Structures are given as structure tokens and as C-alpha cells.
Amino acid sequence: MSVLMVRLRPVALLFAFLLAAAAAVSVTPERAHAEDPLVFKVGSTSPPDSLNPFQALYLSSAELFRLSYDPLYTSSAENYTPEPALATDFSSNEDGTVWTATLRDAKFSDGEPVTAEDVVYSYQTNIDDYQNLPGFGSPFANYKSIRAIDEKTVEITTKVPVPENMVLSNEMPILPKHVWQDRDPIKDANDEFPWVGTGPYVVSEYKPDQYVKLVKNPHYWGGEPALDELHFVFFKDTDAEVQALIKGELDFVPGMTDAQAKSLQGNSDITARAGTSRRFTELAFNPGAKEDGKPIGDGHPALRDVKVRQALHHAIDKQALVDKVLQGAATVGGGYIPPAFSNWAWTPDDQTKVDFDLDEANRLLDEAGYKRGADGIRRMPDGGRPLEFRLIGHSEVATETTHAEFIKEWFAELGITVKPKMVPMATLGEETSAGKYDMAFSGWSANTDPDYILSIQTCANSSADTFYCNDDYDAMYEAQGKEIDPEQRKQIVADMQRHLYENAPIITLFYPKSQEAYRSDRWEPLTVQPQPDGISTQQQGRHGFASIRPKGVEGASSNGSGNGEGLGGGPIAAIMIGGVLIIGGGAAVLIMRRRKAGIDDTE
Amino acid sequence: MSTSTTSARPARHRSAALRAAVSSILGGLVSFVLVVLVGFFLFRMLPGDPVTTMTREQNLTAEQRAALRDSLGLNDPLIVQFGNYLLGVLQGDLGDSFQFNQPVSVLIADRIGPTLLLTGTAMLLAVILGLPIGTRAGWRRGSVFDKLSVGVSLTLWSVPTFWLALLLLMIFGVGVGPLPGLFPVNGMQSSDLTGGWFTQALDVGWHMVLPVITIVAVIYAQYVLVMRSSVLDEIGNDYLNTARAKGLRDALVLRRHAVPNALLPTVTVIMIQVGFLVTGAITTEYVFSWPGLGSLTAEALNVPDLPLLQGTFIVFSGCVIIANVIADLLYLVIDPRLRNR
């Protein structure tokens, strides 16, 4: 063995290896033939958790369900208001307890017609056992029963009156009974491919940590889909995704950082855009954390005083955070629900609006009795504890460090010390849910129905975010969940947002935009939600992916040629120089080695 | 080979060798039991609540959260959880992943192939590259070749893996200037590939090039250095002078006499490396999105997905332990002196 090893010269081996590699490259699949399937490839950094709609929790799984199946109603691309999907009509009796849905003429991807029995199966399974079906089960807590009236009509009875928007935004996919009836909704892996669904593309292959393939559903009720296949390709980080997009290995990359989006500017093949998302970012205070009525944690007592929180609201220049830290990739914060949900968003009027005004903030704190000590730092009204607040943020979100520095400076003007601390997300969750914080960066995504996002600030859910617990707010939350008059409900939801704005357990800092990019040399723009400046992925619905169309007619077969556009900047140059040095050194060794070997042979 | 004993060994020696082998295996077993015990408590110290992480921003009712917590066994007292875990491990059941709704053993089985393929290939190439270079460097100590090869390998060894991986990805994956992107930037297979097994195999090979080069570049230095110093240890020995006196060519002296002896310590290094290699590939797997155990561990850490972390920990540690035991046993086989002790 040893003899063999010495004989196999490393140089020869290296060449052999490179030759093999080159050979591999040369036989690399050619993808530009006309008969090749038309494929759109999306980069994704988060693999699905489960393929079973009854169990899956992650957004990446929901995206697959939204493409492969249909709910009865979905959310409009315009502004997230409910619109027909598998049902063409969905309405209730006078008091909002009996609901009738009429199904459209549709077929599953295996050619079987969609009937009322499929809806009954999908809903009844959840009604029977919603506690153990976290996937789409929660709305079914209020449902009593469902029955088929005829082939195309179902009747749903709810335990209590339920607002229309809440019922119509139920996203439970309608699954084919003939495929699912013998499966266990809790345990089933849903790994028989292709899936049988009613959506434009159904999942046909899943390679964990590699990719998910969807193929076109020839029976799609919305007309023949434009693509033959839609692929989600999994990456570990977005940097590699952006490189793959530049190279043409991907057609679409969602969720980029602002810096990555910027690096794509000037690439004529790619369009990068910042879209209005469903999210808001907030500064959450610790308004006196309690668990089962008993105080927990070590929050600063000053923040239990609503006057202090109101004063601090005046000391945050949200516009500056958006302009200077985020370079404009966000909308300045106002009400709790993002303005993208135009049906539910509330905007403070001129009298209610809290402006950035450090003098006013100082005045409010003086008035509330928080006097400055000899060192200029304010003390509690009893003259004791100085106002020193910890500010905890996510170390994963680079911009939060900068936001914290701005807030620290503004609060210093008020005689308040801020100690920023950036920790991993899991640590942040642990410390905030134990009440061991004063101020924290947080954020949520809103949904078609505002019920859930509003529930986060109730006493029952207090540990979810800020431990806010207020009887008035809880009473309003209760009321909106029962109000079947849409206009009345809208008013209550607005009042709740006004309450949060004025009592300031949280301050909505901004609504961040989401950065996405696609190969505009090959594809038409995707439909965004909300119109006109929303996002193409992580929608409520599937408008973006369902709208994919190749650019022009012959654009479909164009194959991306790798070019180095978009690369630039100091770090990359440094990496390149380092690389050249290493490779050059290696080459020198090899040459030396070769000459040496030649001499040895003549010995 | 010339070093093997020809006469029958006394029984005493055989039993001594057996004792050494048994104690080595027993030591491995004890280590493994400790790993299993530690594995449970180690990951309970991670911050973060799995249910909170998994259900954040999910519209779940309080009952649903409670049911989820219950079904994951998180409501049981720690000692009960530990008991269940031990019982499971004894039966070869590593439990179900919190986030993926699948048995941990299935998830690991899916990923271990790609990891072994990547690390095995890299290991083989590193040995094939490292040993001859180390031998030559030691034999010609002080030569330009010696200085250069030691310098280069040490440089590569000290380069951070993720940096080297990103560098290769930029230059050969994406392409720089006139150089087109030659190799894929992620994964193990192209999602849009159609063709028979041969095309598929080529596709995997094509995807492997950059991650394999990364791992080889980082680890081959160890073989160079160990082999070099082993050869140096042998170089002044009388038996080499004897060989030369017999009139053997320099190259033959090296091949037939110096190398076999110098290989002994190298074998240990190689075997221990095998165990750590699987663990060490995490960074490379991450950069190239290689669908292996490293990627799986990274996904598990975010939650934290305790059963999955315990499972990968046991597999990683098991590899190191098994490799060590094999190194011990192999040593007994190839070094007669140990058998006769």
C-alpha cells in the first residue's frame, strides 16, 4: 500500500481530479432545448417542517399548501380582503351562526371532481380534534358542525356568532376525501407524490434540504398554468442565493438584506424591489410583567407608569430610523396593524399623533415627578432608583444594533440611561417571556383577519409579547370577536389600536419592507400583494407564484449565462487577492514538486 | 511485508493482544454511555422554548399550544423525560423530531449518506495528497519543496473554513471577470436534471467539487506534517544505513524501509480524523448548502429541536469513539511491538 501511495504522484492526481471535474462540467445537463420543461426556480432558506396540512406550522410549508390546494375563500391581491377561491359564494344567516358555501365546478389534479364531501372531510377533521391539529385548526374552536346539502353546497354551524371576515379568512385547504379518508391526520406524512390538489401546481417530489418540485395541475380551475414545473431550492443563507440568481441558477430570491438588494442594482438581467410586507417592528416595554396575577421578572418600575411610556414615545424619531438606519426600506410606524391591510389599519389623526419632540418628552417626565439627580439622570418620583433601562434586541438583525444607538442618544437627552444588549433570538425569547427586560425589539406579521394580532396584547396572551394586561382593551377584544356587523367591528378594531397607541405598551416603530429579486430578463413581474407595492411571496394566498409567466414567447428557452455582474466592493477584492495568492502558491509548489520528481527519477 | 513475524507467537502474546483489544472496546463503550447521558442534559441548557419558537406568529389557541407541549413530552418532569429518552435509546429509538414530525432516526438516515460521501471523498483525497507530500518533505528536509509544501499546507490549515469555502464559491462557483462559474453554488443535485443514474452521478460529482476541495485543503496539512515528522524520526536510524549499505537506491530505501515504519503514527491520526471529519464538515456543508448532518444540526439548533440534537450528537460522538477504537485495534495489527508487550 505504501509503495502505491508514493508512486501515485500528487501532481498527477490533482490533474486527474481536475480533468474529472472538467469532464463533469462538459457533460453537465443542457437545459436550453425547446422540449425541456419550463421551470421557475425559487430560492428558499427555510425548509418545510411537515408536509401534512393538519400539522405543519412553518410558513414554508403553508406556501406549498397554498399552491397545491385551495381554501374556500382566499385573500385578495388588492388589500387582503376575502375573495372566492374554491367556493364561489359564502354567506351566513342573520346572526352569523349558519354559513352556506357554494363550490365552483373544479377537479382535483387526478381528475376527480371536487364535491361537498371533500369540504366536509377537511372541516370535520378539524372540528373533531382541533386541539391536536395546529396546522389550520384554531378557527375551528368556534365551529360546531358541517354537513353537505348537495353535491356543491355545504352548511357550517358555529357555536357563537362569528364575524364574516373571520370565517372567510379560514385558510384550511380543501383536501380530497378519496385520498385522505384512511389517513391519520395527526401522524400522516403526506409523502405520496404527486399530491392530489386543486391548486395550479402540486408537489411532486421532495428531497429534504435539497428541493421541492411542483408540477402543473392540468385540471386547474383557473386555466392552464404557464409553467411546467415550479421548484423551491433550499439554501442555507441568502448570500449564496443571490449568487445563484446572478448566475442564473435561480429565478427568484425572496427575503434579502438591504445590502444584498443594493448589490443587485445595475444588473440589467435582474430586478430587485422592496415590497410592503405584512410586518411591523415595535419597541415593546415591560409594563409590569405578571404571571397568574403575580409579578415576575425584574422590569424597571418607571415603565409601569403610562406617563413615562408616553413621554418616551415623543423621544423616538421614527422617520430618522427609517431614513438613516434602513435607508428608506420601511414605512414610518403609526397604528398597530400595518397600513397594507387598508381595511383594518388605523392611522392617528393630527390631535392623537405623537410627534418627535424631546422638549415635550422632558416636560412630561418633569410633570410626572421624575426629577433629575445631580448627575443629570432622572430618578423615580421617590428620589430612589435612577432611570436606567436595558434595551434587548436580536443579534441576528444587524440594524437593531444601530436603532438601539439612536434610541440611546435620544433618551440620554431626557436624562435616561439606555443599556443596549443584542442576543440570539432564542435567548431574547427566554428573557422576555420571563419578564427580565425593560425594553425589547419585537415584531409580528398581521393576517387577513385582525383577531389574532389583536389577541397578542390581551391579558390571556400576555406572555406572548409584552405582558400588557388592560381590562378596557380585553373588553374591546371580546367585543370585536362577536361583532357581526362589519362596520361596527371595524370601529372597535380602530378603537383598540388607538388604545395601544395612547397607552403605549408598545410603540410601532416602522413597517419594514421585504427585499426580493427576480430574473426580469426571463420573466414577467409577479403579482404583488397588496397592490401596488407589495411582495410576491409569503402572501395570504398565492397570487405571486400563480402569476409567473415567461417574458415574451421565446424568452422561455433563454438560458442564463454566468457573469460576474453585481460583484464588487472591498471585501470581495480582498478575498480574490487572497485566493490568487493561495492558488499561485499551490501552483508554485506543484511546479517545484514536478521538477524535483524529475530529478529523483534520474537518481 | 518485511516487518511481519514469521514464527507462531506464544499464546501469552495472543492473550495480551486480546486483552488490549477488549479494553479498547470497553473503553469505547463506556465513552458511548457517557455521551448518551450527557447528550440529554447538554441540550436542555440551550436557551429558548421549542414550542414558543415553533409556534411564534402562528394563530394557535391556548389549548393547541398546551396539546403541542403535551405531545412533545415537555410537560413531564425532567426525570421522566430522561427516563423515556434512555428507554428509547436502549431500544434504538431516538424519538421524534419536535419540528419535523418525523422519527429522528429517519431524518439522520436521510442525511448521513451525503455527509459520508462528502467527507469520505475528501478524506481519501487528503490522504492520497498528504502522505506522499509529507514523505517527500521529510525525506528532503530543508529543501525548497519541503519549505514550500509545509508553508502552503500550514497556511491552508489556518485559513478559516467558511472563508475558504466562500472564496471558492465566489471564484469557481459564480465566476470572476472572464472566468465563468464552473461549478454549482449549492446543494448536491440539480433540481431540474433529467437522465439516468450515470447523469445523476455526474451531477452529484459536479456538485461535490468545491466542498471537497474546501475540506481537502483544510485537512491535508495534518497528514503532511505527521508523515513528515514520522519520516524525520526514522531518517537517522541504523536500519536505513544498513539498507543503503546494501546498495539500495535512495528511493527504494524510502519506500521499502522508512515509509512502512513512519506510517504507524499516521494511521492513528487518520482514524481519529475520520471521526472528527463528520463533525468538522458542518461549516462546509452550511456554506454549500450540502444536505448532510451538518445542515440538519444547524436546523435543529434554531428551535432547539432537542430529540434531533440528541440524535445528531450521539451520531457525531459515536463516529469519534468508533474511529478511536478502530485506530487502537488497527495499531495492534500493524505494530507487532504492541502485540508482544
Q: What CA–CA distance (Å, rounded) separates A404 from B46?
A: 26
Q: Do B298 and A234 touch (CB under 8 A)?
A: no
A153-158 and A201-207 beta bridge pairing: unpaired
Task: Name which residue leads in pLDDT, B167 or A597.
Answer: B167
Cis bond upstream, residue A530 (ω within 30): yes
The pLDDT value given to residue A291? 84
Average pLDDT over residues B238-260: 84
Given A49, A57, A236, which is nearest B289 (Cβ)? A236
The C-alpha of B31 sits at a distance from chain A's nearest C-alpha, in angstroms, of 31
Contact A163, A486 (CB under 8 A): yes
Contact B116, B108 (CB under 8 A): no
Give the nearest chain B residue to A61 (CA atoms): B100
Counting every residue, how long is chain B? 341
Contact B234, B243 (CB under 8 A): no
Hey, what's the cell of A423? 442576543
Q: Is A596 helix (H, G, I), strand (E, B) or coil?
A: helix
User: Which residues in chain B are contacts of A14 at CB distance < 8 A?
Assistant: 129
**Chain center to CA of A232:** 16
Q: What CA–CA distance (Å, rounded) separates A376 from B17?
A: 79
Q: What CA–CA distance (Å, rounded) separates A123 from A141?
A: 11
Q: What CA–CA distance (Å, rounded) separates B177 from A55?
A: 48
Which of B 12-41 lie inside 8 A of A, CB atoms? none
The pLDDT value given to residue A547? 94
Q: Do A210 and B187 touch (CB under 8 A)?
A: yes
User: Which residues in chain B are contacts of A444 at CB distance < 8 A?
Assistant: 57
The pLDDT value given to residue A35? 67
User: Which residues in chain B are contacts of A253 at CB distance < 8 A?
Assistant: none
Dihedral of the alpha carbons of A549, A553, A559, A564, in degrees to the nearest 10? -80
Q: What CA–CA distance (Å, rounded) separates A85 from A70?
A: 6
Q: Do A564 and B174 touch (CB under 8 A)?
A: yes
The C-alpha of A404 sits at a distance from chain B's nearest C-alpha, in angstroms, of 23
User: Which residues in chain A are contacts of B169 at CB distance < 8 A?
Assistant: 240, 243
Q: What CA–CA distance (Å, rounded) separates A53 from A63?
A: 11
Cα distances from A510 to residues A257, A276, A277, A325, A366, in angstroms, run 16, 11, 11, 12, 28
Given A3, A47, A240, which is nearest B186 (Cβ)? A240
Q: Do B107 and A50 touch (CB under 8 A)?
A: no
Mean pLDDT of chain B: 86
Which of B 309-338 lie inside 8 A of A, CB atoms? none
Q: What CA–CA distance (Å, rounded) separates B221 from A474?
A: 66
Cβ partners under 8 Å of residue A346, min gap 6: A334, A335, A336, A337, A493, A494, A497, A498, A501
One DSSP character per residue, A305-351 reads SHHHHHHHHHT--HHHIIIIISTT-EEE--SSS-TTSTTT-----TT
Hey, what's the cell of B267? 494511521
In chain A (603 residues long), the average pLDDT of successive 10-residue segments reads 42 48 42 72 93 93 96 95 96 93 97 97 96 91 95 96 94 97 93 96 94 96 94 90 91 92 92 93 93 90 96 97 93 94 93 95 96 94 94 92 97 97 88 92 93 92 84 96 94 97 96 95 95 92 95 44 32 43 51 46 35
Which of B 39-58 lie inside 8 A of A, CB atoms? 46-49, 52-58
Query: What ranges in A205-288 are assigned the alpha helix state H?
Result: 238-247, 258-263
The pLDDT value given to residue A577? 44
DSSP-assigned letter for residue A560: P
Dihedral of the alpha carbons of A363, A365, A369, A374, in degrees to the nearest 10? -90
Hey, what's the cell of A410? 435620544
Dihedral of the alpha carbons of A234, A235, A240, A246, in degrees to the nearest 10? 10
Neighbours of A256 (CB within 10 A): 23
Q: What CA–CA distance (Å, rounded) separates A392 from A384?
A: 24
Q: Within an 8 Å CB–CB cutoff, is residue B265 touching chain A?
A: no
Count interface pairs A-B at CB distance under 8 A. Answer: 258
Q: Specify the DSSP element, H or E, that contains A355.
A: none
Number of H helices, E strands in chain B: 15, 2
Q: Do A460 and B140 touch (CB under 8 A)?
A: no
Give the nearest chain B residue to A235 (CA atoms): B289
The C-alpha angle with vertex A262 and arms to A258 and A267, in degrees rounded to 5, equals 145
The C-alpha of A21 sits at a distance from chain B's nearest C-alpha, in angstroms, of 6
Give the nearest chain A residue to B110 (CA atoms): A208
- φ/ψ of residue A154, rounded to 5: -125, 155
User: Which residues in chain A are contacts of B250 at CB distance < 8 A?
Assistant: 600, 603
Hey, what's the cell of A264? 443587485
Q: What CA–CA distance (Å, rounded) separates A212 from A51?
A: 11
Q: What's the pLDDT tens digit per position in A295-342?
A: 999 999 999 999 999 999 999 999 999 999 998 999 999 999 999 999
The pLDDT value given to residue B82? 93
Q: What proportion of chain A, given as a percentage, has pLDDT over 70?
A: 86
Which range is least confidently modeled, A427-441, A445-459, B17-31, B323-337? B323-337
Q: Within an 8 Å CB–CB cutoff, is residue B186 touching chain A?
A: yes
Contact A528, A77 (CB under 8 A): yes
User: Which residues in chain A are contacts of B111 at CB distance < 8 A?
Assistant: 208-209
Give the nearest chain B residue to A50 (CA atoms): B100
The pLDDT value given to residue A24? 44
Number of H helices, E strands in chain A: 18, 20
On the CB side of B1, CA atoms within 13 Å amount to 15
pTM: predicted TM-score of the whole model, two decimal places: 0.85
Q: Within an 8 Å CB–CB cutoff, is residue B181 touching chain A?
A: yes
Q: Do A213 and B175 touch (CB under 8 A)?
A: no
The C-alpha of B39 sits at a distance from chain A's nearest C-alpha, in angstroms, of 20
Hey, what's the cell of A474? 380585553
Q: Do A579 and B183 touch (CB under 8 A)?
A: no
Q: What CA–CA distance (Å, rounded) separates B56 from B37?
A: 31
The C-alpha of B158 sits at a distance from chain A's nearest C-alpha, in angstroms, of 12
The C-alpha of A393 sits at a distance from chain B's nearest C-alpha, in angstroms, of 15
The C-alpha angle with vertex B319 and arms to B315 and B324, in degrees rounded to 5, equals 150
Q: Do B60 and A10 touch (CB under 8 A)?
A: no
Q: What CA–CA distance (Å, rounded) separates A104 from A112?
A: 14
The pLDDT value given to residue A558? 33
10 Å CB burial of residue A49 (0-12, 13-18, 19+) is buried
- φ/ψ of residue A334, rounded to 5: -145, -100
Q: What CA–CA distance (Å, rounded) separates A70 from A198?
A: 6
Contact A318, A510 (CB under 8 A): yes
Q: Do B175 and A562 touch (CB under 8 A)?
A: yes
Q: Do A576 and B151 touch (CB under 8 A)?
A: no
Given A28, A37, A47, which is nearest B206 (Cβ)? A28
Task: Name which residue leads in pLDDT, B6 or A413.
Answer: A413
Adjacency order of strands within the sheet including A143-150: A87-92, A98-103, A153-158, A143-150
Q: What's the pLDDT tens digit per position in B175-218?
A: 887 888 888 888 898 888 877 888 889 999 999 999 999 999 98
Q: What CA–CA distance (Å, rounded) separates A212 from A58?
A: 15
Task: Name which residue leads in pLDDT, A7 or B340.
Answer: B340
User: Which residues in chain B are contacts of A460 at CB distance < 8 A?
Assistant: 62
The C-alpha of B299 sits at a distance from chain A's nearest C-alpha, in angstroms, of 9
Task: Name which residue leads in pLDDT, A564 or B19.
Answer: B19
Average pLDDT over residues B66-95: 91
Counting every residue, how long is chain A? 603
